[in-house]
Amino acid sequence: MAFTIKANFDNTKLFERIGKGPKRLTFAVVNTLNLTTSKVQEHLRKIPKQKFTVRRDPFIRREIAVRSGNKSGGGGFASVKQNRFFTEIHIGQKERLLLSSYEGGAPRTPFTGKHVSLPFIGGPARRTFASKVPPSLHHSKLKFRRADKGPLLVNEKYYIRPGVGLFKKPTATAIRKGKKSGSAVRGQPIHMFWRSGDPKIRLRPVLKYYKVAEAAYNRYFPEFWQKEKLNAITRGGLI
């Protein structure tokens, strides 16, 4: 994701007062941008924990960060030497990481196949919202085979109903009771499936990165600019 906050500097009066104004003010501008960006990054890193259950906080923090600038002048902190007078904070650049998609909301498309698979909260795959899906219930570990009849995929304990979900097979007792009462018996839901593009599977815009970044910029930029500007004047021996 990318958004821009523009910073404007009026250095005219300072240039008139400081003999080496251009050089000193250039460093003042860069220092102000970098100090402000560090504060913005600090505020942005707090957002996911305010909205989600974050299991790997160090990993998420690394994914909301200023990336090192490259030789072509792109990315990273501002730099006088590299003639780069802007900064960039990257959010969720890794493949399959949805962190940046929660800014404006986005469809949750499957990484492979035609369906999105979501664990059923309260079931064996995810007892609570904060718990992880055990590796034994990952699709790659279940080793399904096609049923002798019908479209189901089955193994010893579970079955997949295409386009619907993954279920735990009902017990023999439950099946007998169902036959006696004449009611259909279904297994316990483990994962539920939705087709790619289903409007129900859309990430909500809950991580307001731009709003937080703009507020942090407006809070810290004037303070840092005043200090850096004063420092440039002081070093010039004018006060």
- Domains of the chain, by residue range, sit at 12-105+204-235, 110-195
Beta pairing partners, 167: 159, 189
45, two tokens: 């890193």
- How many other C-beta atoms are found inside a 10 Å radius of the C-beta of residue 125? 22
Q: Is the pLDDT of residue 147 over 60?
A: yes
Name the burial class of residue 204, with classes exposed (0-12), middle (13-18) and buried (19+) by CB atoms within 10 angstroms of its CB: exposed
pLDDT of residue 220: 95
49 vs 45: CA distance, rounded Å? 8
Q: What whole-number distance in Å separates Cα of residue 186 and Cα of residue 204?
A: 31
Instruction: Kindly report, residue by residue over 4-54, the tens digit of the pLDDT.
Output: 666 666 666 655 655 566 678 888 999 999 999 999 999 999 999 888 888
pLDDT at 3: 61
* Residue of higher predicted confidence among 139 and 214: 214
Give yes or no for residue 111 having a pLDDT over 70: yes
**pLDDT above 90: percentage of residues in the chain:** 16
**Tokens of residue 73, six digits:** 């002048």
d(CA 65, CA 91): 7
Q: Is the pLDDT of residue 84 over 80?
A: yes
Q: In whole angstroms, what is the distance from residue 137 CA to residue 119 CA?
A: 10
Residue 215 pLDDT > 90: yes
Task: Give this prediction's pTM.
Answer: 0.66
pLDDT digits (tens, 9 = 90+) for 151-199: 677 777 777 777 677 777 777 676 666 665 656 566 767 766 655 556 5
Residue 99's contacts (CB-CB under 8 Å, 6 or more residues apart) are 48, 60, 63, 64, 91, 92, 207
Q: What is the model's pLDDT at position 219?
A: 95
**86: Cβ contacts below 8 Å, ≥ 6 apart:** 33, 78
Q: Which sign, positive or negative, has the C-alpha torsion 116, 119, 120, 121? A: negative
Distance CA 205, CA 100 (A): 10
pLDDT of residue 54: 84
Residue identified by tokens 């219930």 is: 137
Residue 67 has pLDDT above 90, yes or no: no
141 DSSP 8-state letter = H
